Amino acid sequence: MRRDQVLQAADGSELSTLRRSLREPRTLFSTLLSEVIIDCKINHLYYGKFLAVRDSDIPIYKGKITAFIGPSGCGKSTALRCLNRMNDLVRGFRFEGHVHFRGRDIYHPKVDPVVVRRYIGMVFQQPNPFAMSVFNNVAFGLRLNRYKGDIADRVEQALRGAALWDEVKDKLKQSGLSLSGGQQQRLCIARAIATEPAVLLMDEPCSARDPIATRRIEELMRELKKHYTVAVVTHNLQQAMRIADKTAFMYVDTSGGGRTGYLVEYGDTKELFEGPKEEYTKQYIRGEFS
Ligand SMILES: Nc1ncnc2c1ncn2[C@@H]1O[C@H](COP(=O)(O)OP(=O)(O)OP(=O)(O)O)[C@@H](O)[C@H]1O
Ligand SMILES: [Mg+2]
């Protein structure tokens, strides 16, 4: 099997998923719990000798928005980057645990991380359009993946999907860098969805935006949820309450002299905010520490 086929095989129809399930007991289990598209279990995650995150099991449910919240340094971005092997780019990164996407291990040696990122796309805190036209920014991933269909049509669909088409349809040849910050962020979302990933990871996509641009991106996330699964890191608790179906609260353990992030509580957003089970969650939600 070729490297890229390992995940492509996981991208089949419901029927092929079911067929595969019948052959593989573990996949059958994940099919029965079919709502979980990414099953993430971080036992220990190191940057060099530094234990950055431990004991965090975070399921990502299909078609839902999952928010990662918690104080600075608790490992939210680290955990998010684990979901599409973005930490592989960090020297000294080491990970014990697993991340299963549609029942398949994305850290399997035969899996190409570039292929993983086609299925699980990412949008960063600071928009990072390439120094090329608006059109080419969105077409970039399509060309990289040797897309055989109508590129112009796909670019338009992606820009519409990112609620940007009306603002840029007459500026497709202008540099992506000439757009406003909020437009650049939506351009990066368009670039990420152009290749139709199954999951979209967003690391604080609104933190550098004003309230109006923030609301637009939140509305967009609700729209995106109809077609994609979204996992988002946010510092803004109100935002998590407004947009997320599921919430993972992480905190920092300093008891052993280190600063290791871990999952304190995970659940339905409403339940987690209205009836948190853990004392740390209660305190964090009450704003007793930041
Ligand atoms: N590339 C890296 N190399 C070494 N250590 C890192 C790296 N990225 C993060 N860390 C460390 O891992 C821990 C978790 O960092 P991370 O960025 O995941 O936290 P965070 O919860 O996203 O914080 P913030 O809310 O400030 O963005 C921190 O102690 C941080 O210093
Ligand atoms: Mg972060």
Closest residue (by CA) to atom 9 of ligand 1? 78
Within 6 A (CB) of ligand 1 lie 47, 52, 70, 72-78, 90, 259, 261
The number of the ligand 1 atom at minimal distance from the alpha carbon of 79 is 18
pLDDT of residue 268: 97
Query: Going edge to edge, which strands form the sheet with 199-203?
Result: 104-105, 93-101, 36-47, 50-61, 260-268, 246-253, 65-69, 229-233, 199-203, 120-123
pLDDT of residue 23: 58
* Distance of CA 278 from the midpoint of ligand 2 (Å): 23
DSSP assignment, residue 85? T
* Distance of CA 73 from the midpoint of ligand 1 (Å): 5
For residue 246, the cross-strand partners are 66, 268
pLDDT digits (tens, 9 = 90+) for 124-169: 988 999 999 999 999 998 998 889 999 999 999 999 999 999 999 9
pLDDT of residue 4: 47
**8 Å CB contact between 56 and 250:** yes
pTM: 0.88
**DSSP strand pairing (260-268 vs 246-253):** antiparallel
* Segments in the chain below pLDDT 70: 1-34, 290
pLDDT of residue 256: 81
Going from N- to C-terminal start, the domains of the chain cover 3-129+197-285
**8 Å CB contact between 275 and 286:** no
DSSP assignment, residue 158? H
CA dist., res. 224 & res. 26, Å (int) = 30
CATH superfamily name and code, 3-129+197-285: P-loop containing nucleotide triphosphate hydrolases (3.40.50.300)
CA dist., res. 276 & res. 264, Å (int) = 10
Q: Indicate the top mutation candidate among 40, 47, 87, 202 to test ligand 1's pocket, ranked by most ligand atoms within 8 A of CB.
A: 47
Neighbours of 186 (CB within 10 A): 26
* Distance of CA 140 from the midpoint of ligand 2 (Å): 26
Neighbours of 235 (CB within 10 A): 15
